[in-house]
Amino acid sequence: MITRAGWGLAAASVLVYAVGAPFGYAQAAVLAVAGLAAVGASALWTLRGAGLDVRRELTPVKVTRGEPAVALLHVRNTGRRRHAGLVARDTCRGTSVTVEVPALARDTARTVSYRLPTRRRGETPVGPLLLDRTDPFGLARRSIAYGRTDLLLVRPRTVPLAPPHAGRRRHLDGLDSRSAPNGAISFNGLRDYVIGDDLRHVHWRSTARTGVLMVKELTDVNLPSTVTVLDTRHSSYDGDDEFELAVDVAASVACAVTRDRFPVRLLTGAGELLHAKGGPGETEEVLDRLAVVERSEQADAPLHALRRAGSGGALVLVSGTFAGLADAAAVRRRFDEVLFVRVGEPVEGGRPAAAGVTVIEVGDLAELAAAWPR
């Protein structure tokens, strides 16, 4: 592709010839031909093979919103000639990142790092990577695409919170999640025997009937469960920043529960997003699922999600408007503890209240950590 400087030289060459030729100036023709020849030679220069091996590496591939993410660009000169300095252009969520690659001698390699924008949560495509090859005079440029588009997952931010330990039945010695199911006493079903299972839990009648060793699966009825509902209606938030804070709040609550290996259901206006049962590694799954949640005009009101939420345990409803407080109050008798978190700037007229509902109003995550019940 001819650059702006190349087009300027070509136009100047034509202008010199047009002015000088009628007066018989032979030098005008020579200058015009030389200028056009320089532009043509520059274009041919950029057409030859680059002779480069280029590879991009993202580290990390999952990052918390606002934290640094780095791309490493590995470039090796596999050609026969020395490469002058190159300019690489990468694209991340509509933002162009320009990277200067130093000169490379034959069969040498360089690694260049550059920051990627992580202010927006979600799946962020990185690429395609374009390497600009220019002639020594800057008259022509050729952009060559390398590799494939990588995916950077920007996840919500969280703050440490105490899980809402609510349950209708409690042990006198306290709650215990890590001992379940070995320490549990409530029958939940049958499953195939796995090496390491306690032989005292073998269900011999089912084993004799099926011919397969079956064991009783026991659950702890005293495990506190939590239902977290995120209001995803577009009209519930004044802007993207408020919704991002709401997602951060929901992530903080759900992660507080899963870190202690307690069950949690995560609901949005589109339905159930996740049902974690208290197993290991579910905190990562919570963050991955919430990383791709978006507002929607078609999202249901929180009351529709609460109708499918069951009963018992704790309920945490997160919204950007106090209109959702009525939904939380409508189902307060079905839960042992109900918390309503409203995100955004304080509203005029003070904070409304509802019987049986703990109302928290936050403008950032620091306020959530300070106001959260302990």
Average pLDDT over residues 312-339: 92
- List, for residues 184-234, the tens digit of each pLDDT value: 455 667 888 888 788 888 888 988 988 989 888 765 555 678 999 999 999
> Does pLDDT of 173 surpass 60?
no
- Banded model confidence at residue 250, pLDDT cuts 50, 70, 90: very high
Lowest mean pLDDT among 9-18, 63-72, 172-181: 172-181
Contact between 88 and 131 under an 8 Å Cβ cutoff? The reply is yes
Average pLDDT over residues 328-349: 90
How far apart (Å, rounded) are the C-alpha atoms in residues 202 and 225? 28
- List, for residues 19-78, the tens digit of each pLDDT value: 887 877 778 888 888 888 887 887 776 776 667 888 999 999 999 999 999 999 999 998
- List, for residues 263-272, the tens digit of each pLDDT value: 999 999 999 9
Lowest mean pLDDT among 23-32, 147-156, 157-166, 297-306: 23-32
The chain-wide mean pLDDT, for the chain, equals: 85
How far apart (Å, rounded) are the C-alpha atoms in residues 171 and 184? 11
pLDDT score for 43? 78
Best CA proximity match to 160, nearest among 32, 231, 252: 252
Token digits of residue 232: 């995803």
How far apart (Å, rounded) are the C-alpha atoms in residues 287 and 154? 9
pLDDT score for 151? 93
DSSP output for 42-60 = HHHHHHS---EEEEEEEE-
- List, for residues 93-149, the tens digit of each pLDDT value: 778 888 888 888 888 999 999 999 998 899 999 988 888 777 767 787 777 887 788
DSSP output for 247-261 = HHHHHHHHHHHHHTT
Q: Give the three-state DSSP class for 266.
A: strand
| Cα Rg, the chain, nearest whole Å | 32
> Does pLDDT of 276 surpass 80?
yes
Of the segments 81-90, 134-143, 146-155, which one has the largest average pLDDT value?
Answer: 146-155
pLDDT score for 223? 64
